[in-house]
C-alpha cells in the first residue's frame, strides 16, 4: 500500500492555479493533484482529458506481444471485450463526468468550500482485476484505487475522496474515476460512514419502490444532506439482508507442473445441506500476474472440485487433508498442467481481510 504526505505548493492547490498538464501524467502524484484541481474548478473537460482514449487502449492491445501461451489466451480474451475498455473513455462513458459532478455537488451541499481545500495525503493500493478485464493487466501493469484526503481550510473539516482506475500505460499515468466523497479523516472512518450512507440509500430505494418517496432526485438529495429518514420494520430489514456464513478461509500455495508458482484462496460457506459446507468461493494468482482471479467453484459427487477461470481454463482438484492435487486444462488447445497446492500455515488475519475485500469488490 502506498501512503503519501503531500506538502502544499503554490500553483496546484489554489483554485486559480493552472493544471499540471492535460493528460499523460509523469507520476501518480501529478495525477492526484490534477484530480483535485479539476474538482476545485469544476472543469469536466480537463477532468475528461485525464482518461485514456478508447482508440489508444485498442492500439495497445493489438500491439502487445504475448510472452507465452497463457498470456496469449488472456490477450485474446481481452480483444473480445473492447466494450469494457470504452468504459475508461468519457466520450463513450459519460457516467465518468456525471460521477465527477455528483461528488462535487455533494461536497458543496455538505458545506465544503472547494476553493479553500488543501490535499493532506493520499493512499493508493492495487486494484482488483474483474473478469471482464482479464488480460488488461498486461496493458496496464499498475492499476490503483484508494483515497485522497483533503481539508477545508475555512471550516477545518477533513474529507475523504474515493477514487479508482488510476492506471499506468506506457510509463504515463491516466484515469482517476471519482467514486464518492464523505467527511472523514481516516479510511476506517470513511468506510463506517459509507456503510451508514449505503444503508440509508437502501431504505430510500425501498421507500421509492413502495411509493412513499416521490422522486429519485429526492433520494439523491437525502444522501447528500442526510435530511430524509425512512423508518423500516425489523421484518423489512431481515427481508433485505444478504448474509453469507463463511465457516473457514484457507490459503494454498504450490505449482503448475512444478514450475509456475500459484496462490489459491478458498472460502468455505455454510448452508442447509447435510454436509454443512454447501458452497465454495475461490480465486487464484499466478506468479506472473499481480492480481487474484475469481473462479467459479462447484464440487462433483465424487468430491472433485471444479474451479473455472471464465473462457481461459479449468482446474479439477481433489482435496486430501491439507493438499489439493489435480490438473489445470486450457479451454483453447486443451494444454494440461499438473497442479499441487498445499495449505499455508500461520496466515495473518490482515491478509485474510484483504483477500475477503477482493470478493466483496467482485460482488459489488
Domain boundaries, the chain: 2-185, 193-239, 246-363
CA angle at 343 for the pair 318 and 335, rounded to the nearest 5°: 50
Spatial separation of the C-alpha atoms in residues 112 and 250, rounded to whole Å: 44
Report field, pTM of the whole predicted structure over 0.75: no
Spatial separation of the C-alpha atoms in residues 202 and 230, rounded to whole Å: 10
CB distance 123 to 146 below 8 Å = yes
Spatial separation of the C-alpha atoms in residues 256 and 266, rounded to whole Å: 17
The 8-class DSSP code of residue 25 comes to B
Q: What is the full per-residue pLDDT of the chain (364 aa) written as tens digits?
A: 444 443 333 333 333 333 333 457 889 999 999 999 999 999 999 999 999 999 999 999 999 999 888 888 889 989 988 999 999 999 999 999 999 999 999 899 888 999 999 999 999 988 877 778 889 999 999 999 999 999 999 999 999 999 999 999 999 999 999 999 999 999 888 888 887 777 776 666 666 566 655 555 555 555 555 444 444 444 444 444 345 678 899 999 999 998 889 999 999 998 878 888 889 999 998 876 667 888 999 999 899 999 998 878 899 999 999 999 999 998 888 889 999 999 999 888 878 877 887 777 665 4
Bin 36: left if φ > 0, else alpha if -120 < ψ < 50, else beta. alpha
Q: Any idea of the CA torsion for 218, 178, 139, 134, to the nearest 10 degrees?
A: -40
Spatial separation of the C-alpha atoms in residues 324 and 339, rounded to whole Å: 8
Domain 246-363 classification at class level: mainly beta
CB neighbours (10 Å) of residue 314? 16
β-pairing, 260-270 with 293-299?
A: unpaired
Amino acid at each position: 500500500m502506498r501512503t503519501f504526505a503531500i506538502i502544499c505548493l503554490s500553483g496546484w492547490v489554489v483554485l486559480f492555479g493552472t493544471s499540471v498538464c492535460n493528460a499523460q501524467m509523469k507520476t501518480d502524484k501529478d495525477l492526484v493533484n490534477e484530480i483535485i484541481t479539476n474538482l476545485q474548478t469544476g472543469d469536466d473537460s480537463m477532468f475528461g482529458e485525464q482518461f485514456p482514449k478508447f482508440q489508444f487502449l485498442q492500439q495497445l492491445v493489438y500491439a502487445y506481444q504475448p510472452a507465452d501461451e497463457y498470456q496469449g489466451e488472456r490477450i485474446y480474451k481481452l480483444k473480445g471485450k473492447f466494450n469494457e475498455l470504452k468504459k475508461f473513455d468519457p466520450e463513450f462513458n459519460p457516467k465518468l463526468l456525471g460521477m465527477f459532478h455528483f461528488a462535487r455537488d455533494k461536497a458543496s451541499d455538505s458545506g465544503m468550500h472547494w476553493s479553500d481545500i488543501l490535499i493532506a495525503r493520499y493512499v493508493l493500493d492495487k486494484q482488483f482485476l474483474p473478469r471482464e478485464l482479464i488480460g488488461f493487466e498486461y496493458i496496464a501493469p499498475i492499476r490503483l484505487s484508494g483515497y485522497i484526503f483533503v481539508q477545508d481550510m475555512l471550516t477545518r473539516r477533513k474529507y475523504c475522496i474515493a477514487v479508482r482506475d488510476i492506471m499506468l500505460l506506457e510509463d504515463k499515468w491516466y484515469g482517476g474515476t471519482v467514486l464518492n466523497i464523505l467527511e472523514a479523516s481516516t479510511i476506517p472512518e470513511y468506510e463506517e460512514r459509507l456503510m451508514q450512507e449505503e444503508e440509508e440509500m437502501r431504505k430510500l430505494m425501498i421507500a421509492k419502490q413502495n411509493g412513499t418517496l416521490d422522486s429519485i432526485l429526492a433520494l439523491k438529495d437525502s444522501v447528500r444532506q442526510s435530511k430524509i429518514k425512512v423508518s423500516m420494520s425489523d421484518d423489512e430489514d431481515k427481508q433485505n439482508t444478504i448474509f453469507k456464513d463463511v465457516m473457514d478461509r484457507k490459503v494454498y500455495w504450490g505449482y503448475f507442473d512444478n514450475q509456475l508458482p500459484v496462490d489459491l484462496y478458498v472460502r468455505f460457506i455454510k448452508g442447509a445441506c447435510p454436509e454443512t459446507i454447501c458452497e465454495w468461493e475461490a480465486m487464484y494468482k499466478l506468479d506472473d500476474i499481480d492480481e487474484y482471479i475469481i473462479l467459479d467453484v462447484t464440487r462433483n459427487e465424487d468430491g472433485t472440485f471444479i474451479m473455472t477461470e471464465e473462457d481461459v481454463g479449468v482446474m479439477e482438484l481433489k482435496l486430501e487433508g491439507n493438499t489439493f492435487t489435480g490438473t489445470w486444462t486450457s479451454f483453447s488447445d486443451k494444454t494440461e498442467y499438473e497442479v499441487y497446492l498445499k495449505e499455508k500455515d500461520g496466515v495473518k488475519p490482515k491478509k485474510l481481510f484483504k483477500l475477503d475485500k477482493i470478493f466483496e469488490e467482485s460482488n459489488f
